[in-house]
Amino acid sequence: MSRKKNLKGKGSSKSSIASPNKSSNNGKSGNGIGSVAPSNGVVYPSRPSVSSSGEFYDMAFKVMLVGDSGVGKTCLLVRFKDRAFLAGSFISTVGIDFRNKVLTIDMLKVKLQIWDTAGQERFRSVTHAYYRDAHALLLLYDVTNKASFDNIKAWLTEIHDYAQQDVVIMLLGNKADATHDRVVKREEGESLAKAFGVPFMETSAKSGLNVELAFTAVAKELKHRSIKEPDDPKFQLQDYVNKEMKTAGCCSS
């Protein structure tokens, strides 16, 4: 089996902020990536590629984390990638950062290139440039911050203006562990997600609640879209999420 050579993205940038189409090849997570997938995200299984960590993968997709500043995007990413929690105060993301992780999805190696975006208004024009290349968007709000929830409609409008028409969108109500500080009910998140036709779940970067599930579900959806035959049934993302959460609840009780 031959190895697929690293693909170089189009375009270049001298800015300190990473380009959505080009990444350095220094192999360090968050600073570069050894391979950038084609626009459809698929690398054929018969010609596997190698991630910056040296791990083989069959297909690759770009996933963006978006939402207001302070909703926990970076913490969610660190929890997923490193299984750790960023306790205490830390500096908000400036511009764009990213990490890579390879998951095994239905016996295939799926690499997620996860872009962590700044939520501040002054970086919004930078974020817009990355929407076009994203295969999936995880849109976060903070269940202890009503303003971040109220701004979800504006974020969805922005996504529809700049992202691909068929981009996968999932709404996440983060910081679900903060029971005493909660101001947004779970039912409110479910209602909003239903109104916009997007899957929904609550997560906690602190406890790890549903973090792995959120990324795995998106990876499954993207994998299914890439290799789906015309007669294959559509992958029901919300049904999969509900089933997995129900199973996890039964096992933990």
- Total residue length of the chain: 253
The predicted model gives 204-209 an average pLDDT of 96
User: Does residue 52 or residue 237 have the better pLDDT?
Assistant: 237
- Structural tokens at position 2: 């031959």
User: Has residue 224 got a pLDDT over 50?
Assistant: yes
DSSP string, 194-240: HHHT--EEE--TTT-TTHHHHHHHHHHHHHHHHH--TTSPPP-HHHH
CATH code of 217's domain: 3.40.50.300
The pLDDT value recorded for residue 19 is 53
- Digit-coded pLDDT (tens) for 140-195: 999 999 999 999 999 999 999 999 999 999 999 999 999 999 999 999 999 999 99
pLDDT, mean of residues 101-107: 96
β-pair type (59-67, 56-57) = unpaired
Asked whether residue 23 is assigned to any structural domain, the reply reads: no
In a domain, 159, yes or no: yes
- Nearest-5° angle of CA 4, CA 225, CA 103? 55
What is the count of structural domains for the chain?
1
Q: Which domain holds residue 157?
A: 62-98+111-252
Any domain includes 39: no
* Other C-beta atoms lying within 10 Å of the C-beta of residue 122: 9
Res. 116: pLDDT tops 80: yes
pLDDT band at 21 (very low <50, low <70, confident <90, very high): low
